[in-house]
Amino acid sequence: MTPVFADIAASALRAFHDSRLGAPTAAEAPHGEAPHVWHWIDVNHRCNRLLWDEEDLARRTSVAAAQIVANKRAIDTYNQQRNDAIERIDELLLARLEGVIVAADAWHNSETAGSIIDRLSILALKILHMDCAAQRAGASAEHRAPCRDRHRRLCVQR
């Protein structure tokens, strides 16, 4: 018997997130209702990548306030899309459990499966950006060394 969640094993999520790190990020909202969980995992990861970029832009100090306001509005939009994707992931995964009888002593997590997948997406982004910081040619050795240490810790956490 194939486990009900075999297709979204940690190794599959890790490989997917890593494969999408360099993919183009179209800023448009997802269209329609896709019945497949991987569509929403992709939407979630795309939103996290767009959020990361917008948050970097919003930290700029050398631009007009209107540009920062535009970044903040984009952050709000991507956060909403991200949360919507997490909810769809949860709905689709919960549907797989329909008819399953929960054991009285079953373990309950404080986060939903969609939220955990979201955390893994963010962890992939942290690993990528910390690796870049650890290898940045213009950075001092004093800056790169702690970045290498943090990169190693993030990889262990994953």
CA distance 104 to 115: 24
Total tally of structural domains belonging to the chain: 1
| Containing structural domain, residue 29 | 6-111
Does some domain include residue 48?
Answer: yes
CA distance 96 to 69: 41
Q: Is the pLDDT of residue 1 over 50?
A: no
pTM of the model: 0.86
Does some domain include residue 158?
Answer: no
Query: In the structure encoding, which two tokens stand for residue 72, read together?
Result: 């903040």
CA distance 127 to 10: 16
Does some domain include residue 137?
Answer: no
Could you give the 3-state DSSP secondary structure of residue 148?
A: helix
Does some domain include residue 120?
Answer: no
Does some domain include residue 92?
Answer: yes
pLDDT in tens, 69-119: 999 999 999 999 999 999 999 999 999 998 888 899 998 888 999 999 999
Does some domain include residue 84?
Answer: yes
Does some domain include residue 20?
Answer: yes
User: Which residue intervals of the chain are DSSP H helices?
Assistant: 10-20, 37-58, 65-96, 113-135, 141-157
What's the pLDDT score for residue 111? 93
**Residue 44 buriedness (CB in 10 A; 0-12 / 13-18 / 19+):** buried
Does some domain include residue 100?
Answer: yes
pLDDT in tens, 27-75: 555 566 677 999 999 999 999 999 999 999 999 999 999 999 999 999 9
